[in-house]
Amino acid sequence: MRKNNNYLDISERKILLRIVDVFVLISGLFLGFHFFKTEYIYFNSEEVTKWLLILVIYFLLFGEIFQLYNLNISNNKFQTVRSVIIATLSTTLFYILTPYITPSLPVNRLQILYFFFLITIPLVIWRLLYATLFFSKTLYKSIVLVGHSSKMEYLLKTTKNKGFHKIAAYISDKKIEGFDNYININDIVLENILIEKSVNEMIISTKGFSEEITNQLKLQLIHLFEEAVNIKSFESFYEEITFSVPKEYLTNDFYKYINFSTNSDNRLYLFFHRALDILFSSIGIVFFIILIPIIFIGNLIGNRGAFFYTQERVGKGGKPFEILKLRTMVPTINDGPVWATKNDHRITSFGRFLRKTRIDEVPQFYNILKGDMSLIGPRPEQSFFISSLEEKIPFYSIRNVIRPGLTGWAQVNFPYAASIEEQEKKLRYDIYYIKERSLFLDFKILIKTISTVLFMKGQ
């Protein structure tokens, strides 16, 4: 069967970006050394391999922090240039501040400026070329959706603009308004459609179809599988493009789809997880002590009242604990706890700054050190909200099987929720983390959290 193999999937694009970034980074310095006689990194030195390795590590780290490998950012030329400049500037600063493992500072400090330009300009040129050439839809994955009309609108809306693919066609029992490339499911031959549309992947959901149509589909799918066609259920495809579990998993059969991560019982993982908690919380508490005078002055000017506030939250296994935060709101009298909303009138002027910078969360490092919380995990909620949410969202309490966190997968992907629908979406990110948790995923969350704080994407 003829298939279109010209597309680049998400993982291939990210690998390509990293490989070419490193090549361009080193090439710029190499050309600078040979043609402009730069005097910072000597390529004829015996230590050049070590120097370049440290440089690559710094750059890839800051590239992650400043979202150089976020493919949505890489598609935007302005954001790409901004991210490259910030990443290379941070790399340069850290590189010159570690002279024991990097080259000694040159006598002529102007060489540091040359170093910055030699890594920045080639990277900007390459990234602009990438944004121009590699976001062509000819390099997108071509997919076909198969599903009943009762679900097809949801499938189409969820799939559209998610990931780097194009919907070549959708096969259903009726046309969905606002979407082209409809093919009627009655008397179709899937193989012919895949050949005609040059499709890479088929996404299918059989829910809602009659038994007769379902059986016909299964026979054709078996044949297509034998022909090495990539076939995915909509649920697994949804996880792949959103990094959260689909709402279809939240049923009485949830155990078929949601498994507790093996790392949750892995002693080595749990040891490193707790060690990181203690390390970061100790650093965080020291950082907070340094900030106290500044926060105290800001509090007097634009946030008069109590410095701290405590609130009961629900921890691992439903056990309550007192969370410690900096106060950011004026006290109010109401009929019970109320979710904070965007631009909430209760937030004080200085409190808004504390929220934007996430400084209001820093005292929670004390909760982490105590063991009530972890650095990474689902955000702890008030028992009042949990009781209310459990009535409306099936299995909401699943998130309490692990220790709550200061930051988490839901927070960095869907940072604001002030309704039942949004809380359900955040729950699905939390469940994805519980299902997939690992040191690699924890590292991604930390990097995304740093990006969130630096770009002030808080409430």
Mean pLDDT of 349-373: 90
Average pLDDT rounded to a whole number, residues 217-230: 83
pLDDT-wise least confident of 71-75, 171-175, 180-184, 348-352: 71-75
Q: What is the pLDDT of residue 158?
A: 81
Segment holding 424, helix H or strand E = helix 420-436
Q: What residues contact 54, with CB distance under 8 A and at least 6 apart?
A: 95, 98, 101, 102
Question: Hey, which of 89-98, 182-191, 262-271, 389-398 has the most confident mean pLDDT?
Answer: 89-98
The pLDDT value recorded for residue 410 is 92
Which residue has 């920045």 as its token pair?
120
pLDDT at 332 over 80: no
- What gap in Å lies between CA 118 and CA 28, rounded to an integer? 5
Neighbours of 62 (CB within 10 A): 22
pLDDT at site 237: 87
Distance separating alpha carbons of residues 41 and 32, to the nearest angstrom: 10
Element (H, E) at 275: helix 267-302
| Whether the Cβ atoms of residue 194 and residue 146 lie closer than 8 Å to each other | no
Residue 143 confidence (pLDDT): 87
Mean pLDDT lowest for which of 249-258, 287-296, 396-405, 415-424? 249-258
Cα separations in angstroms, 99 against 8, 38, 71, 90, 107? 40, 17, 33, 15, 13
DSSP 8-state class, residue 105: P
- Lowest pLDDT segment from 54-58, 67-71, 366-370: 67-71
- What pLDDT is attached to residue 3? 55
pLDDT, position 185: 86
Helix ranges (DSSP H) in 164-266: 190-197, 211-226, 234-242
Residue 106 has pLDDT above 90, yes or no: no
Q: pLDDT tens-digit profile of 202-222?
A: 889 888 888 888 888 888 888
| Confidence band of 456 (pLDDT split at 50, 70, 90) | low
pLDDT at 54: 95
pLDDT score of 278: 95
Q: At what angle do helices 190-197 and 211-226 cross, to 10 degrees?
A: 50
Residues shown for the chain: 459
Computed over every residue of the chain, the mean pLDDT equals 85
Q: 38-42, 124-128, 226-230, 244-248: which has the highest mean pLDDT?
A: 124-128
Higher pLDDT, 61 or 106: 61
Cα(276)–Cα(266) distance, integer angstroms: 15
Average pLDDT over residues 277-303: 91
146: closest CA among 95, 186, 92, 88? 186
Average pLDDT over every residue of 31-40: 87
CB-CB contact of 423 with 431 (8 Å): no
Task: Using the structure block, give the residue that is written with the tokens 């909401």.
Answer: 396
Domain boundaries for CATH 3.40.50.20 within the chain:
140-242
pLDDT band of 50, cuts 50, 70, 90: very high
CA distance 366 to 325: 10
CA–CA gap between residue 394 and residue 397 (Å, rounded): 8
What residue has token string 């790392």?
A: 263
Asked whether the beta carbons of 232 and 204 are under 8 A apart, the reply is yes
Max mean pLDDT range (308-312, 320-324, 419-423) = 320-324
Q: What is the pLDDT of residues 12-29, one digit of tens each?
A: 888 999 999 999 999 999
pLDDT band at 329 (very low <50, low <70, confident <90, very high): confident
Beta bridge partners of 170: 145, 182
Summarised one tens digit per residue, pLDDT across range 132-153 is 887 666 667 888 899 888 888 8
Candidates 3.40.50.1390, 3.40.50.300, 3.40.50.20, 3.40.140.10; CATH matching 140-242: 3.40.50.20
Structure tokens at 220: 């054709």
**Please, which pLDDT band fits residue 35 given cuts at 50, 70 and 90?**
confident
Percent of the chain with pLDDT over 70: 92
Is residue 399 a contact partner of residue 434, using CB atoms and an 8 Å limit? yes
